[in-house]
Amino acid sequence: MKHITLLFLSVAITGCGADKTDTGSSSDSGEDTGSEIVNPDSGEDTGVEEEGASISGSLFFEDGSPATGVQMRLCYGQCFPAMVDESGNFNYSGKGEGHYSLQAVKLGEDTYAIPSTVVTIGTEDIAMDPWVIPAFSTNTDLTGTQDVELANNLIVSADSASMTLGDYTESEEKYIKSAFVPGDTAGIYLEEVSGEVLGVWYLANFDYRMDPGWAISGSPDLGLNEGETIQAYVADFAAKAWTLVGTYEVDASGALVGNPDNTGLIALSALVLTR
C-alpha cells in the first residue's frame, strides 16, 4: 500500500505565534518596522545565541517576477524581520542553533498568501529553493457551522465558535482564505518533511486556532489512488514542532476519508500533501 503524508503548517503570522510581531496592520499584511521585533515575553531566556549558520533563498510571484515588497520573518522567542532585495533574495546569518518558524509576508497586501515553514538551524548553511507566493483564490466569511470548499477541491467543516484569536493580531474577523500551489512548483522549504510534495495550500485568517479541530475532506486533484493512506500533521510554531492531527484513506472516488479519532485542522495553516 502506498503512503502519503499530509502536513499542516500554521500559516504566516501565526508562525510567530507567541513571538508576537506588531506590524501595526491587519493579520493579512504588515509594515516594515526596520528593526528586530521582540516577543512581548522577551524577558525570558530564548536560548538563542547570536551565532550560527546562514539561511538564504529567493521568492517569486506566480508570473515568475521577483517577489519585491516582501518581508521575511524568522522567529524563535523573538522575530527578526528582513526585507527581500529587488531580485527577491533574502539572507539571514548570526542566528543560533534551534527550531525557527520562517514566513514570507507581502507588506500592505491582503490578497497574497503567506508561505511559511519550520527551519532547524544547525552548523551548516541552508540555501533554499525559490519559493512561489500565490494570490488567494477563495475567500469565505465564517458564521456558525458550514462546509467550506477551498482551492483544488479541499473541504473543511468549519465552526466559527471553535475559533480562538492568537497572540499576533487584533483582528477579530472570522473568515477562511485559501491558495493552492502544485508541489513541483511551490518551492517552500520542506527539508524536514519526507516524501514527494504533491501540493501546498495556504490558509488565512492566519492567527486563529480551533478547538475542537475541523474535519478535513474533499477530492483534491492530485492523482491519488484508491487505498492510499494519508497522515495529517500541524506545525505548531509556538512549539516549533510537528503535531499529528489525523489519518485519512483515499476511497474509490478519490476522496479523503478521515479516521473518526482525528483531531482535525487545529489552526488556519499551510497544508502540505506528500507521497
State the average pLDDT over residues 186-196: 80
Provide the residue type at 80 as one letter.
F
Pick the more confident residue, 266 or 52.
Answer: 266
User: pTM to 2 decimals?
Assistant: 0.80
State the average pLDDT over residues 187-194: 80
| Predicted local distance difference test score (pLDDT) of residue 28 | 53
Q: Are strands 55-61 and 126-127 parallel, antiparallel or unpaired?
A: parallel
Question: Considering only 28-37, 51-60, 66-75, which range has the smallest mean pLDDT?
Answer: 28-37
- Structural domains of the chain, with CATH: 3-11+136-274 (no CATH), 14-133 (2.60.40.10)
State the average pLDDT over residues 106-123: 90
Pick the more confident residue, 39 or 208.
Answer: 208
Identify which of 16-20, 33-37, 66-70 has the greatest average pLDDT: 66-70
For 215, phi then psi, to 5°, come to: -65, 145
State the average pLDDT over residues 10-37: 40
| Predicted local distance difference test score (pLDDT) of residue 193 | 73
Beta bridge mates, 74: 80, 102
pLDDT tens digits along 67-110 = 999 999 998 878 899 999 999 999 999 898 999 989 899 999 89
Pick the more confident residue, 23 or 188.
Answer: 188
User: Would you call 241 helix, strand, or coil by DSSP?
Assistant: strand
User: Would you call 190 helix, strand, or coil by DSSP?
Assistant: coil
Cα angle, residue 107 at apex, residues 169 and 93 outer, rounded to 5°: 95
| Predicted local distance difference test score (pLDDT) of residue 183 | 87
Percent of the chain residues past pLDDT 90, beyond the cut = 47
d(CA 169, CA 26): 7
Evaluate if residue 263 carries a pLDDT over 70. yes
Kindly state the cell numbers that stand for 111.
490578497
The answer to whether 1 touches 263, Cβ cutoff 8 Å, is no
Evaluate if residue 44 carries a pLDDT over 80. no
State the average pLDDT over residues 179-191: 89
For 184, phi then psi, to 5°, come to: -80, -5
Q: b or e along 161-196 (b: 16 or more beta carbons within 10 Å of the residue's beta carbon)?
A: ebbebbbbbebeeebbbbbbbebeebbbbbeebebe
Question: Considering only 35-39, 56-60, 126-130, 268-272, which range has the smallest mean pLDDT?
Answer: 35-39
Evaluate if residue 23 carries a pLDDT over 60. no
